[in-house]
Amino acid sequence: LEEAAFQLQQIFRIDISIAFNILGIESMRAGHYKAAYTCFKLAADRGYSKAQFNVGLCYEHGRGTEKDLEKAAFYYYNAASNCHPMAQYRYARCLLCHRPENEWDSLQKAVTFLEQAAMAGITEAQAYLGVFYLRGLQPKEKKGLKYLLLAAKNGDSQSRYHVGICYEKGLGVQQDLAEAMRHYRQSAAAGNRNAQQRVQA
């Protein structure tokens, strides 16, 4: 009986968190940013990862509360630790943009979260990792191309353009100008100006 009561409490906590998060989303859409932040915060403090992510967004963009990148990173980290893919991407970006120079642990943690987000299908993380691996201090061209291809398949025209560069220059793949042109054309058709210029060149 105690176990059943405990399970009911857990379900109630989750349902309340979901309800607060939905109220927050509706408030945000209506332009009531302070009310949205309050709802997100109530759900986040109960451990609901979607709300933790939304509180992070509020702090990052100064919506409904003061802009505070440290607090944004804190809430992104909580959501990321609960396997929220977009929070994993955002937290990794916070680490990469605001870490002290040459802090290896932060870099490794950021890459781990980026890879988790990329494998969960977050296009932004795939694109970021693709460029990161191609341009790193010790480039891993095959790994970079792998992530760029994932992002390109998800419709990211900039990543498609970068795939074209890989084929044109033989980065992580056998050089193939016809394949490079195919990727440039697809990227150009999606409106990418760099690709349009490359096709003309």
- Please give the structure tokens belonging to residue 37: 């932040």
- In order of 52, 55, 63, 75, 98, the CA distances from 67 in angstroms are 16, 11, 7, 13, 15
Domain count, the chain: 2
- Flag whether pLDDT at 144 surpasses 60: yes
CATH number at residue 177: 1.25.40.10
144 vs 142: CA distance, rounded Å: 5
How far apart (Å, rounded) are the C-alpha atoms in residues 158 and 164?
10
Angstrom distance (rounded) from CA 169 to CA 151: 19
| Boundary of a domain, candidates 66, 86, 120 | 120
Domain check: are 107 and 161 in the same one? no
Residue 163: per-residue pLDDT: 96
Q: Which domain holds residue 156?
A: 121-200
* Final residue of a structural domain among 100, 120, 140: 120
* Predicted local confidence at residue 12, as pLDDT: 58
Which tens digit of pLDDT belongs to each residue from 33-62? 999 999 999 999 999 999 999 999 999 999
Mean pLDDT of all residues in 103-124: 90
Alpha carbon of residue 10 to chain centroid: 29
Residues 100 and 143 in one domain: no
DSSP 171: S
Q: What is the structure's pLDDT at 117?
A: 97
Contact partners, residue 110, CB within 8 Å, separation at least 6? 91, 92, 93, 95, 96, 99
- pLDDT bucket at 15, cuts 50 / 70 / 90: confident
pLDDT of residue 4: 61
Q: What is the pLDDT of residue 31?
A: 95
Are residue 135 and residue 89 in the same domain, yes or no? no
Tell me which residue has tokens 């990173």. Answer: 73
The reply to whether 54 and 82 lie within a common domain is yes
Q: How far is CA 134 from CA 35, 46, 56, 86, 145, in A?
A: 43, 40, 29, 22, 8
Q: Is the pTM of this model over 0.85?
A: no
Query: Within this chain, do residues 89 and 130 fall inside the same structural domain, yes or no?
Result: no
**Is the confidence at residue 10, as pLDDT, over 70?**
no
Residue 99 is classified by DSSP as S
Residues 160 and 76 in one domain: no
Q: Under a CB-based contact definition with an 8 Å cutoff, are residues 15 and 38 in contact?
A: no
Q: Give yes or no: residues 125 and 183 share one domain.
A: yes
Render pLDDT for 66-111 as a digit per residue (tens, 0 to 9): 999 999 999 999 999 999 999 999 999 999 887 655 567 778 899 9
Give the closest residue to 27 by CA, choosing from 40, 43, 16, 17.
40
Q: Are residues 104 and 126 in the same domain?
A: no
The CB-side HSE value for 193 (13 A sphere, CA atoms) comes to 0
Q: Quick one: pLDDT band at residue 186, thresholds 50, 70, 90?
A: very high
